[in-house]
Structure 1
Amino acid sequence: MKTVGLPNTDERAGRRAGTLSAAVPAVRGGEGHTRAAIIRLLLEEGPITATAISTRLGLTPAGVRRHLDALIDSGQARASRSAPWQQKGRGRPAKQYQLTAAGRGQLGHAYDDLAGAAIRQLGEIGGDQAITEFARKRARTIVAGIEPLREHGPQIPSRAADEADPAGAEAETTAEAETTAEAETTAEAGMVAKAEEIAGALSDSGFAASTRKVGAGVQICQHHCPVSHVAEEFPQLCEAELEVFRELLGTHVQRLATIANGDCACTTHVPLTAVPAAGRTAQAKARAYTEPKTTSPSAVAQPATVGTNDDSGRSAE
């Protein structure tokens, strides 16, 4: 069963909203759609305040709190006080609301038992390698159609003529810096766009994914996991996702949290600065090891002096 991101203007978002409404426990008439919209915000933005929800959905704070109280009473949501650094203005910290594990369960973990049994049977027949291969194929199917990010490395001009033309060296260095800065900006934009493309594919598969810029990186946040109960037993599902992210983004990515481990979202950090993936790192080390290095006269290796004192002692004897 698919869940959704926040409402958009496109047709796909409309289909997702209808799917989430169907996953919400029966509530009378328009109440069900309102409840579904609130749950969607708790899912994707939680922890979030009642005031923020009312602003986003155009509802009265009192009406929002009534729905939140009902969700808390049913065990689907919980409230906590904002941290002092999150508080705006004076007074008591505002309450923030988020879904509980039971609330997430209402969004559909269809066929969990069947899926778990099938993967266990697969493991008995083919071993761990069969489970790993299944997880990889599943992850690649989710992002099918997304092309790997192409490298946008800056073209560095040759320095061969620097000594012959010192006057032009400074201008060339400035041009290099401008070229490098422009290339880095292009590469960052490409990385962010590719992360958003991956998040879109994940949302289409029920993960309610989004991206957000954090410091010198971008995070892919999966606010729902249709297979979290199965992933608790088979972490290969999470590992395969991460592997596919690395392949598509062409850089090392780091998993910060997972729903399967009890976190409120699966969060993957993607650095915007160049961090080579494992394969590229090995290639770079190989090149560095084999490429000749230019050394200054003062850096020419001197004869080894290890054991000199011992040798001198024996000579004196």
Structure 2
Amino acid sequence: MYSTASASAVAAAEHRGADAPEGPAAGSAESFPEAESTTRQRVLQLVVEEGPISAAALGRELELTAAAVRRHLDAMTEQGILEVKNVTTARRGAGRPSRRYVVSERGQRSLGDDYLGLVKTALSLLESSGPPATEAPRTSSTRPDAPTVGSTQDAARGLAREYFAGFEQRWARQLNELDDLDARTDKLSQLFAEDGFAGFTRLVGRDNPLLAMQSTQLCQGHCPIREIAAAHPVFCEEETDMISRLLDVDVRRLSTQAAGAHVCTTHVPVGREKLAAEQRARAEASAEEELQISAEAGATNESRTATGGRRRIVISPRQQERLS
């Protein structure tokens, strides 16, 4: 489904492709009317969210003709913003592979990076860290200027934690107003989109009769720090931990752009949480019912105690004759 939530993350993609080849083949935004440029942004946004995706699927989603979609796809492919993946499906068998479009490395760069913010965070950490700690003893085989592996990993984790802390503090205030996990996940995807991560959600298993099998995939079509995250996976780990804290649920990372995927995907167990909530509600209702029964039983015992604990016995006339 096409979403406009992260349109701002791709609106400048064509303008940032200024280093593309000049001439008619370049297809720059300035050579097209405003409506044409807007349509191209919609095509790019959908490829960011749904790629790999075919031209036919793009046309259905955007209600455009095949010729109109291919014109934009060809222009962005020539610019290097998109690239083609040939996919052979079981339905096609051994026939001609289907052409699917994904955002290229250059296209990801055109969507914008956040290395300036990361550098500012790093400088801030350096300023607040004070004098350097005593280094561990080095062996004769260690180069004098080579940092230890532990210190590099610790520094990367500290930087990642500080980087995402800024997002978490701002986003938590808006998410605290929502109780429903589905609503929180959808809102978090919008917040990701507003900050340049091209966030969106996919609903999974909603037609499954087993409630626990329902889930939401929180997706990010763009990663502003993907190159650093590829070198230091702790950035992806810290981001996953942040998502878990913001949603107040255990999540699982399915894919990351840093590891080569086209979309960062996080599994949110919505159904499991809903099932647990229902079980808690039933348990609380049952406990309240037992408490009420106990209270009524206690009141009966109290009345018996007040009357000396005597019970009324009824006998028949024949039994009276025998007793006399």
What is the TM-score of this pair, normalised by structure 1? 0.60
Give the partner amino acid of 1:94: S
Match of 2:138 in 1: none
2:240 equivalent among 239, 242, 250 = 242
Deviation, structure 1 residue 42: 0.8
Residue 100 of structure 1 aligns with which residue? 104
Task: Name the SS for the 2:83 alignment partner.
Answer: strand
Deviations 1:255-283 (A, max 9, x none): 111122221111101123159xxxxxxxx
- In the TM superposition, residue 136 of structure 1 has moved relative to its aligned partner by 4.2
Q: Is 1:137 the equivalent of 2:165? A: yes
Q: Please report how far the alpha carbon of residue 82 of structure 1 lies from its aligned counterpart in structure 2 after TM superposition.
A: 3.3
What residue in structure 2 maps to residue 273 of structure 1?
272
The structure 1 residue matched to 2:113, chosen from 101, 109, 112, is 109
Do the aligned partners of residues 120 and 223 (structure 1) sit closer, same or farther apart at CA in structure 2, a change above 3 Å counting? same
How far residue 220 of structure 1 moved from its aligned partner, in angstroms, is 0.4
Q: Give, as a single letter, the amino acid of the residue that structure 2 aligns with 1:146.
A: L
Whether contact under 8 Å (1:142, 1:205) holds in the other structure is no
Residue aligning to 2:190: 200
Q: Distance in 1 between matches of 2:201 and 2:41?
A: 22
* Equivalent position of 1:29 in the other structure: 32
1:65 matched to which residue of 2? 70
Rounded to whole Å, the distance in 2 between the matches of 1:69 and 1:273 is 43
In 2, Cα distance between equivalents of 1:61 and 1:255 = 35
Q: 5+ residue gaps in structure 1?
A: 151-189, 276-317
CA distance in 2, matches of 1:23, 1:134: 28
1:91 CA drift (Å): 6.4
By how many angstroms is 1:249 displaced?
A: 2.7
* Amino acid in the other structure paired with 2:171: V
Q: How has the CA–CA distance of structure 1 residues 247 and 116 changed in structure 2, closer, same or farther, with 3 Å as cutoff?
A: closer
Cα distance in 1 for partners of 2:203, 2:109 equals 28
Structure 1 contact 115–230 (Cα < 8 Å) conserved: no
Asked if 2 retains the 8 angstrom alpha-carbon contact of 1:139 and 1:241, the reply is no
Q: CA deviation at 1:233?
A: 4.5
How far 1:244 moved relative to its partner?
Answer: 2.3
Please state how far the C-alpha of 1:235 moved relative to its aligned partner.
4.0
The aligned residue for residue 259 of structure 1 is: 257
Render the CA deviation track for 1:124-176: whole Å, top value 9, x for unaligned: 553737525413422313523211875xxxxxxxxxxxxxxxxxxxxxxxxxx
Q: Give the Cα–Cα distance (whole angstroms) in 2 for the partners of residues 44 and 79 of structure 1.
A: 16
- Corresponding residue SS for 2:216: strand
Bigger Rg, which one? 2
The 5 Å alignment of 1:27-176 reads 27=29, 28-30=31-33, 31-85=36-90, 87=91, 92-109=96-113, 112=115, 114-122=116-124, 124=126, 126=129, 128=155, 130-144=158-172, 145-147=174-176
- Counterparts of 2:158 and 2:39 in 1: how far apart (Å)? 44
1:297 match: none
Find the aligned partners of 2:177 and 2:272 in 1 and give their Cα distance: 17
CA distance in 2, matches of 1:191, 1:232: 30
Shift, 1:88, TM fit: 7.5
Counterpart residue number, 1:294 = none
1:273 match: secondary structure: helix
CA distance in 2: counterparts of 1:269 and 1:7, whole angstroms: 19
CA deviations on 1:38-88 (whole Å, 9 max, x unpaired) are 111111111111112122223221222122122222222122233323x47
**C-alpha separation between the residues in 2 aligned to 1:109 and 1:75?**
17
Equivalent of 2:204 in 214, 223, 236 = 214
132-141 vs 65-74, which moves further: 132-141
Q: How many equivalent pairs are there?
A: 223
Superposition TM-score, scaled by structure 2 size: 0.59
Structure 2 residues not aligned, in runs of 5+: 16-27, 130-153, 206-212, 275-324
Looking at structure 2, the residues matched to 90 and 236 of structure 1 have their Cα atoms a distance apart, in angstroms, of 41
The aligned amino acid for 2:32 is G
